[in-house]
Amino acid sequence: MERRQFFAASAAIGLTALGLPDAEAVIRRSNKPGRIAVGKGEVAAIRTMTTTLGNAASELGGGHARHLAVRYLTVDVERWLDGRYTEKTGRELYAATSELVHLIGWMARDEGNQGLSQKYQLYSFRLAAEAGESELAATALRQLADQAIDLGHIPTAVRLAEACEQRGRKLANHKALAYYRTTYARAAAADDDRTTAGRMLASAQSAIESAPTLPGQSWASHYSHGRWAHESGMIHATLGELAAAEEHLHLALDIHGLDRKRTRAIVLADLGHVQLKRGNTAEALATWNSFLDCAEGVHSVRIDDGLANISARLPRISNSTAAQELGERIAARA
């Protein structure tokens, strides 16, 4: 699906493209005779598989295991959704499935399939809303908002980010609050709304500083201090605050640490761009060489975008042996 088609529905996400949640869906299914009895074991299995597949995708990119996740959803999980279960188990089943569907949407986006990703996130949102899980529903909205920013649909991104923050603002999970408010800040910065961006960024910082370091159980609870520092750095870069941007990106890499190859590579690519804008050419080239080292074996559209962006800037660096060597390294990857 092309970019133009991607948000054909999203112009209507006011937020009608998401639809109203069917509050009776779980109850209706739980009373439906089914061939398979579903209990806590099936719910736990979905969550275990989501964690395992998510860890692999975070390390090596969404292109590595999406087909496995889709097969699991359509072959196993679909049978359980059509099975027989209590209302309580049904809500847990919907919530666990929402997490798996969200992961598949993330994987599709990381492969570069934006339209497919949107469809999965819409499905994840509806499952979460029907299960009564505000955090999961807000997280699906957050992914849609983040995607809209990257595709340049800024008014839609602002609406989605605002809806995400509103749905999640009463949660006690500080990492979730930081996650959603940072996304709202990013959308506002892209919309050149410095006031809202600054307010949301300050609120997100307050939330992440109150959050535990270790990851929790939910998707939003895995939002780390390092990821917050990275995203905050890029918001500062969008606002033209390059010194603050570089400080936050170093914070992400050096202090909070990023142990996933894919994530660390993306931060290194972004850091190099900021260093180049600040006139620190030698540092930028060294950072981009580290990016190439880290990106080895990772299959992600974010890595491909990083390579393309670096390649586009190298010709502007004249009389530089280091730039020429870096260009040769990038060309050798093709």
Structural domain count, the chain: 1
> Is residue 209 in some structural domain?
no
- Whole-number Å distance between alpha carbons of 71 and 207: 37
Beta bridge partners of 84: 37
Q: Is residue 71 part of a domain?
A: yes
Model confidence pLDDT, tens digit, residues 109-165: 999 898 899 999 999 999 999 999 999 999 999 999 999 999 999 999 999 999 999
State mean pLDDT over 309-317. Answer: 93
Contact between residue 288 and residue 269 where contact means Cβ atoms under 8 Å apart = yes
Averaged pLDDT of the chain: 88
Q: How confident is the model at residue 26 (pLDDT cuts 50, 70, 90)?
A: low
Does residue 6 have a pLDDT over 50? no
Q: The pTM is what?
A: 0.86
Do 72 and 47 touch, CB atoms closer than 8 A?
no
Choose between 288 and 58: higher pLDDT.
288
**Model confidence over 232-289: pLDDT tens digits?**
999 999 999 999 999 999 999 988 777 788 999 999 999 999 999 999 999 999 999 9
State the pLDDT at residue 16.
44
319 or 264, which is more confident: 264
On the question of pLDDT at 44 being above 90, the answer is yes
Residue 105 lies in a domain: yes
| 97 occurs within a structural domain | yes
Residue 202 placed within a domain: no
Model confidence at 312, in pLDDT bands (50, 70, 90)?
very high
- Token pair of 145, please? 């908002």
pLDDT, position 259: 73
Tokens of 43: 């719910």
The residue ranking higher by pLDDT, 311 or 9, is 311
Average pLDDT over residues 89-100: 94
Q: What is the structure's pLDDT at 212?
A: 87
Confidence of residue 15 (pLDDT cuts 50, 70, 90): very low
Reported as a single tens digit per residue, the pLDDT across 293-302 is: 999 988 889 9
Mean pLDDT of 208-221: 83
The reported pLDDT for the residue numbered 22 is 52
What is d(CA 65, CA 53) in angstroms, rounded to the nearest whole number?
7
pLDDT at 167 over 80: yes
* Beta-bridge partners for 37: 84
Whether 302 maps to a domain, the answer reads no
Residue 151: exposed, middle, or buried by beta-carbon count in 10 A (0-12, 13-18, 19+)? middle
Structure tokens at 142: 């957050």
Cβ atoms of 294 and 268 within 8 Å: the answer is yes
| Residue span of the structural domain in which 122 resides | 22-131
Q: Does the pLDDT value for residue 30 go beyond 90?
A: no
Q: Is residue 195 in some structural domain?
A: no
pLDDT at residue 60 greater than cutoff 80 = yes
CA angle 99, 104, 108 (to 5 degrees): 145
- Looking at residue 13, its pLDDT comes to 40
Does a structural domain hold residue 11? Answer: no
pLDDT band at residue 217 using 50, 70 and 90 as cut-offs: confident
Say whether 97 sits in a helix, a strand or coil.
helix
CB 105, CB 124: distance < 8 Å? yes
